[in-house]
Structure 1
Amino acid sequence: MRAAPDGPTLHGERVLLRPVQDADRAVLVAIRSRPEVARWWGPPETDEWPLDGDEDEHRFTVVADGRVVGLVQYGEEPDPMYRHAGIDVFLSPDVHGRGLGRDAVRTLARHLIDDLGHHRLVIDPAADNIAAVRAYAAVGFRSVGRMRRYERDPDGHGWRDGLLMDMLADELQ
């Protein structure tokens, strides 16, 4: 996934979302490497992360109080019969519990709905990531099903369940 360097800057109540820049790489890799984040995301897939990926996926650096605190990204399903967008997010453990994740997800969701015309969004946290599930529910996402053995544990030795959550445009809180 990547963000086009000329993509929009999005303003939330407490966060700023801007396309990932090369200068963000070291901080984002360091945050993603923290045990509290790596538990859910695993290590970066390539040495170029987060600037790698294809043109249909978009990444934004999450900035709060003037500093990089995480990443939020989206991908789109372009087939008109199934058109929707999916969101992923992580934040530094230093800012967990402050509502910044909700603000980042809400800000990106508003862009996807209002500016890009999506009627439905999905997010798929690990089923046991209770803090993430609560944050997404606070934005308007609803659980629509448990996906059994959905993804590998970051250590690659086992499987864990995922929770499929979706939100319709008029459900954004």
Structure 2
Amino acid sequence: MELRGDTVVLRSVVAGDEEVLARIVREPEVAAWWSPPEDFSEMLAVVFENEVIGAVQFEEETDPEFLSAGIDIFLTARQHGKGLGTDTVRTLARWLVRERGHHRLTIDPAAANTAAIRSYSKIGFKPVGIMRAYGRDHRTGLWQDALLMDLLAEELV
């Protein structure tokens, strides 16, 4: 699978990517929001200028009455603030809506992750509400709140 955004390419994880992704997810700026997954193979590698800079994943609800999808993303800290995360999420969102037929997408950043929230808002995601004690911080063991955001297909920028 390969999806092309304005600046990034999303593609299936291939041999050699897992080591790079494992290193990225351990960066302090990334580890603040992500716990290291056991398996990267179900994710899509985010590639910028021929370099793997992170990963994005999605989950789908395929029941026709609730057809929707959720998105999660992480990028290496040295590429933060350049619009690459926005392009990544927008690219995947467009594919989920146009090709997979989803009418609603969700994303649930930590409530304190203001940079991620700002990025998702640029695409059209809107706050739904705070999910209290939603995820456990793998570094401290403490629960942290998340902001549930959603995007309807017709709102996609």
- Considering the TM-score relative to the shorter chain, is it more than 0.5? yes
Per-residue Cα deviation, 1:121-173 (whole angstroms, up to 9, x for no partner): 00000000000000000011000110011110122521100100000011111
Question: Which ranges of structure 2 fall in alignment gaps of 5 or more residues?
Answer: none
Please give the secondary structure, in 2, of the residue aligned with 1:112.
helix
CA distance in 2, matches of 1:93, 1:79: 36
Per-residue Cα deviation, 1:15-44 (whole angstroms, up to 9, x for no partner): 000011122011000000101101110223
Question: What is the match of residue 145 of structure 1?
Answer: 129
1:69 has 2:59 as partner: no
- Alignment counterpart, residue 36 of structure 1, candidates 29, 36, 39: 29
Question: What is the match of residue 65 of structure 2?
Answer: 81
Which stretches of structure 1, 4 residues or more, deviate above 4 A after TM superposition? none
With structure 2 as the length reference, what TM-score do the two structures score?
0.97
Aligned residues between the structures: 157
**Larger deviation, residues 73-82 vs 123-132:** 73-82
Please give the secondary structure, in 1, of the residue aligned with 2:96.
helix
With structure 1 as the length reference, what TM-score do the two structures score?
0.88
Question: What is the match of residue 157 of structure 1?
Answer: 141
In the alignment, residue 50 of structure 1 is paired with which amino acid?
F
Question: What is the match of residue 4 of structure 2?
Answer: 11
- Alignment counterpart, residue 124 of structure 1, candidates 96, 101, 108: 108
Question: What is the match of residue 136 of structure 1?
Answer: 120
